[in-house]
Structure 1
């Protein structure tokens, strides 16, 4: 006679043994802290006007500028010019000492040439190109850009220019409120704080334009983020996030995920370290040419979310700043 209880018992035991085997495998093979690979060439930038090669500074050095803008770019020769024009126009009309670091993530098109044209125009003190020899993924590109920056505040902004750069003023003001600082950016450098741009206020409008299937995927992803990684943040994926120098160092030194789900791990690290996080609505519009394939990318991110949760839960991954 078919015994349901016995089947359930053996199935549960089998599932538990599989999960235990996975945990043991991760504990045995995973590096608790990330190994940040960087070639000799990737430690340097080139002045395209003189061909002079100089080494990037370190995020561990004291800040020497108000703001660093990190722009990860993979095959972005078409969309990068308008983003940089808007960014430079805003910053040149502000009183900030700034730099822009364009990180070409193994691009095979004219991304580096486009960025170098702007570099010639405004100089390497204001714009530098970090050319990665192989594609690392967006998270890997952002991290290496952050680790090469001189700013008291560090913003990463997507190369497509989907977020209006003029919204930076709202993000910086929110940082001052979070840190309770009224002075210059240099006063914020040593305090931990993060402010993220948010598109949550646009969600109703976007749902009206999406198919039911894509809407279900979106809500499913939000639910997984809440369950496995980050609570209390409505939009983890907007490519417009501002860090103090202290927060950037603490978070990016422990970042393991280098592809699409890196934003979620960053915010999980920040919440674990009790770094204050604020969310600010920003103006955002869809730009043609996205590298994201909706279904495939969301499946990859869901898989990464589960792995992030499991690896931190069993101690296969650890946060460096907690143990320094």
Structure 2
């Protein structure tokens, strides 16, 4: 076989792969971001129907047509996405509030808000979440009720765009991560965003909860099939998107206000792989990232369907790489820090 034939044999599969990516990209819809949507004013849920509490906005438009973040009004905002979580959410909120109220009692500077984002639930998630606000100070817990399910990533994004905190953390409603590990992420984030004396919430940085240290233990408990899926997922993530983070999927991630205002307006993926896109963008922007080991336990009631969800995540990871590489999605205006 001549060298020309070898060249043709090598080129044809590559062309077919790119053509397949274009086809998948064309038939896979995604939400196009608009200034109107990013700056939309939202109101907090009230079971009595009197929804007169307006959320603050993370972003405001600049004179040149871009965005900047608004001034923080709390030290920390906790975003909890929840879809049909009437059973697991109360346990998580009790642990979360025990930690936050204790910190608030110890320091007047530790002010917090919790935003539970009801992602189109058909049960009593919103009412149960709202009931926790009755024993709190005004503004410490609000419920943002979405009219329809948009996916975990979309719910987190909606909540972040309403956040008032210098620090913004999103945490899963299942309570799988021990909430007291908040302090570990907080310390790591402040170390990344400090001039040696003062914490700078404008400086972009991320602190991520990680279960990578538990991999051997969790592998022993999983089936061989699920272990293969997990290993394959990690390999695909490393090849196509994120290379500096071992555990991209832990639902316990903390951002400075500056980082959140830069990353979340750019986010397109609204379901399970949204974490990967956020971290991909953070790496492109060269934001400092700390991965912090946290305590984690398996909690019954997961919304992930083992095969279908992994296929969907795999497709989305390929699309993140493809669409940014071929400039279908733009990230060139991310500030290089």
Indicate whether the TM-score tops 0.5. yes
Corresponding residue for 1:134? 148
Q: For the aligned residues, what is the CA RMSD?
A: 3.0
1:312: which partner in 2? 324
In structure 2, C-alpha distance between the alignment counterparts of 1:294 and 1:211, rounded to whole Å: 11
User: What is the CA-CA distance between 1:26 and the residue it aligns to?
Assistant: 5.3
Q: CA deviation at 1:6?
A: 7.2
- 2: CA distance between counterparts of 1:52 and 1:20? 49
Name the counterpart of 1:263.
275
- 1:242-300 C-alpha deviation (Å, 9 max, x unpaired): 00000001010100000000000000000111111000000000011110111211111
Equivalent positions of 1:161-180 (< 5 A) are 161-180=175-194
- The whole-number CA distance in structure 2 between the counterparts of 1:240 and 1:25 is 31
For structure 1, the residue ranges without an aligned partner over 5 or more in a row are none
After superposition, residues 225-244 of structure 1 pair within 5 angstroms as 225-244=237-256
Aligned equivalent of 1:76: 85
What are structure 2's unaligned runs of at least 5 residues?
Answer: 60-69
**Which protein, 1 or 2, shows the higher relative CO under an 8 Å CA cutoff with sep ≥ 6?**
1
Quote the offset at 1:46 in angstroms. 3.7
- How far residue 13 of structure 1 moved from its aligned partner, in angstroms, is 3.9
CA apart distance, 1:122: 1.3
Counterpart of 2:298 in structure 1 is 286
* CA deviation map 1:30-53 (0-9, x unaligned): 889634785999711145589351
Q: Which residue of 2 aligns with 1:248?
A: 260
Deviations 1:148-192 (A, max 9, x none): 0000000000000000000000110011222235667xx331110
| Whole-Å separation in 2 of the counterparts to 1:182 and 1:7 | 59
| Deviation readout 1:196-248 (Å, 9 max, x if unpaired) | 00000000000111111111111100000000100021100000000000000
Specify the SS of the correspondent of 1:253.
Answer: helix
| In structure 1, C-alpha distance between the alignment counterparts of 2:204 and 2:196, rounded to whole Å | 15
SS at match of 1:269: helix
Which residue of structure 1 lines up, in the alignment, with residue 63 of structure 2?
A: none
Q: Which residue of 2 aligns with 1:197?
A: 209
> Alpha carbons of 1:17 and 1:296: their partners in 2 closer, same or farther (altered >3 Å)?
closer
Match runs of 1:108-187 below 5 Å: 108-181=122-195, 187=199
CA shift, 1:74, in A, is: 0.5
Note if 1:218 corresponds to 2:219: no
Q: In the TM superposition, what is the alpha-carbon distance from 1:123 to its structure 2 partner?
A: 4.3
Q: CA separation of 1:223/1:152 partners in 2, compared to 1, >3 Å: closer, same or farther?
A: same
TM-score (norm 2): 0.86
Separation in 1 of the partners of 2:288 and 2:14? Answer: 39
Segments ≥4 residues shifted beyond 6 Å: 5-8, 27-33, 39-42
Q: Distance in 2 between matches of 1:18 and 1:224?
A: 16
Distance 2:303 2:24 in 1: 32
